[in-house]
Amino acid sequence: MTSERRVLVHPDAASLEASVAARFLTKVIDLLDEHPTIDVCLTGGSTGIAVLAAVAQNPAREGIDWSRVRFWWGDERYLPNGDADRNETQARNALLDHLALPPENVHPFPAPGDHPTIEAAAEAYATELGDTTFDITFLGVGPDGHVASLFPDHATVLETTKKVVAETNSPKPPPERLSLTLPVINSSERIWVVLAGADKAGALGLALADANVASVPVAGVRGRKRTVFFVDQDAAAEVPEGLIDRDRYWTASDEG
């Protein structure tokens, strides 16, 4: 199976968030027609959480049997349970707490105190994950090209044996984080990279130019079936015209 990479450009952040939310709901319905259960991996960040809020506001969510959907996270800030800066907390407030979702369907990363060390917490989440592969993985991108909590020129970017890593020297606060590794991320059927704003334009251009993964982690992202970059016009501003080419990428609506 050939993995496809596509770029879908939206006029602004608001239309981007609403479009991704609608596409997500449509894809969940389609997947549940084919599978008894599905697994979705969430991201944090302002745009990622805004997409979840847009899902919550879309009436189509009422027609989905959420008991058949399991949620995971690509990374987490290693902060106490319930902390406002945890991706889990923000996702629950934006969407998950508004769904008829059994508690066992939500798989958050551990928090401090759940295990003796952050390394033990990483191992525990890897065990919980087991052989799970994601039907849809959401990712955001930092201006430096990081995805999840895999940062440029950190050894964790090139980790190939572990499923989950402990980051103890994050360049962004807080310094301690937990993250899935690239092999786990890339085992996803579909990866949806959602980014908005002119400060993300450079990272997007480097990703599409297949930059060095160690220096630009997002360049190493590739889902098994397809990888879609959902971007607003500002984020697409610095992408060379030759990289948004109908022979290599799509900029019109597609099946996701």
pLDDT in tens, 59-84: 999 999 999 999 999 999 999 999 99
Domains of the chain: 4-238 (3.40.50.1360)
What's the whole-model pTM score? 0.93
Residue 207 has pLDDT above 70, yes or no: yes
How long, in residues, is the chain? 256
In terms of pLDDT, which residue wins out, 3 or 106?
A: 106
Residue 244 has pLDDT above 60, yes or no: no
Q: What is the pLDDT of residue 176?
A: 98
Residue 250 has pLDDT above 50, yes or no: no
Kindly provide the b/e burial profile for residues 185-222, where b requires at least 16 CB atoms within 10 angstroms of the residue's own CB. bbbbbbbbbbbbeeebbbbbbbbbeebebeebbbbbbe
Could you please report the per-residue DSSP string of 54-105? HHHH-GGGGGS-GGGEEEEESEEE---TT-TTSHHHHHHHHTGGGS---GGG
Query: What is the percentage of the chain residues whose pLDDT exceeds 70?
Result: 92
Q: What is the pLDDT of residue 239?
A: 67
Dist. CA 82–CA 27, nearest whole Å: 30
